[in-house]
């Protein structure tokens, strides 16, 4: 446990010294303020066109930044040789990756919390803005996106050897899960027999964290009718009392799966040199 805490503290110090973190903070505040000022003419409660736009634009920015910062935290050590030095210590790969994951997560969540706080205060002073419950749910949505994509970033960092290679994988994952998801899914489902569409759609949605987190947020905001009849069972499931509990378990399983795979790959690389 002490090893995990030591690694976590080191990662937090490195994260707040990284200029990328502050660039991300400024970008996120500008982006949030722009949307909130656009929304300044009215008051938004529950799901609306403005909350939908905020969710979609958050999906463009947060996964990309999270994937870059998370994967670079591992590949940076490979490039400067400190990863080889860490192999000589009595430190297990799981302890190292858990400590690094929690450390980077603290940095990213702090940035998002500061951005939401600043923009929330400014929008409250100058506009009517969002209802508190809606704004809080949007913050939870952003936090879940970071938690899910950071675990994928660690798997990318474990697979790749340097920052350029990691950047290639990051852009591929970001493009496939965010930008190209809908047209690729529609094209693929259109080639399948009718009876296969629903189960394949369910499996594909579970493989894309951006999609199931987005669906959960929209349904919780009361906009379940816009996501289509194919997701009727999802809407029913999320609205059930156990929906939030099951969503939390799914998020935890996602993190354990990807960070566990990254730990196994690192341990394998440690044994084979």
Chunked into runs of 10 residues, the chain (273 residues) has average pLDDT values of 78 78 77 68 60 77 88 81 68 81 90 83 69 81 92 90 88 90 82 80 86 85 69 72 84 92 81 63
Residue 214 has which token pair?
Answer: 């987005």
pLDDT for position 24: 77
Q: How far apart are CA 182 and CA 192, in angstroms?
A: 16
Q: The tokens of 262 are what?
A: 């990254």
| Sign, CA torsion 23/28/29/35 | positive
pLDDT of 202 reads 82
Could you tell me if 127 and 40 are in contact, meaning their C-beta atoms sit under 8 angstroms apart? yes
Cα–Cα–Cα angle for 25, 15, 268, nearest 5°?
Answer: 130
Residue 249: other Cβ atoms inside 10 A: 11
How many whole angstroms separate alpha carbon 63 and alpha carbon 178?
A: 9
Token pair, residue 62, equals: 């947060």
Q: What pLDDT, on the 0 to 100 scale, is given for residue 55?
A: 78
């Amino acid at each position: 446990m002490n090893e995990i805490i030591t690694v976590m503290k080191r990662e937090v110090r490195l994260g707040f010294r990284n200029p990328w973190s502050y660039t991300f903070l400024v970008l996120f505040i500008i982006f949030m303020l722009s949307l909130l000022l656009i929304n300044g003419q009215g008051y938004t409660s529950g799901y609306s066109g403005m909350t939908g736009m905020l969710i979609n634009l958050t999906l463009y920015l947060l996964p990309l930044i999270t994937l870059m910062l998370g994967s670079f935290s591992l590949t940076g050590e490979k490039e400067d040789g400190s990863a080889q030095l860490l192999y000589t210590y009595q430190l297990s790969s799981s302890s190292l990756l858990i400590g690094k994951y929690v450390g980077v997560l603290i940095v990213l969540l702090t940035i998002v919390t500061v951005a939401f706080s600043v923009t929330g205060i400014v929008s409250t002073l100058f506009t009517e803005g969002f209802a508190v419950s809606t704004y809080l749910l949007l913050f939870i949505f952003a936090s879940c996106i970071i938690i899910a994509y950071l675990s994928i970033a660690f798997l990318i960092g474990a697979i790749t050897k340097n920052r350029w290679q990691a950047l290639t994988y990051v852009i591929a994952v970001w493009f496939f899960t965010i930008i190209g998801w809908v047209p690729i899914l529609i094209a693929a489902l259109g080639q399948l027999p009718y009876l296969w569409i629903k189960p394949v759609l369910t499996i594909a949605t579970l493989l894309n964290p951006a999609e199931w987190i987005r669906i959960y947020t929209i349904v919780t905001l009361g906009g379940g009718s816009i996501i289509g009849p194919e997701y009727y069972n999802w809407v029913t499931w999320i609205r059930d009392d156990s929906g939030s509990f099951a969503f939390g378990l799914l998020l935890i399983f996602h993190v354990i799966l990807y960070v566990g795979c990254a730990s196994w790959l690192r341990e394998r690389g440690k044994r084979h040199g």
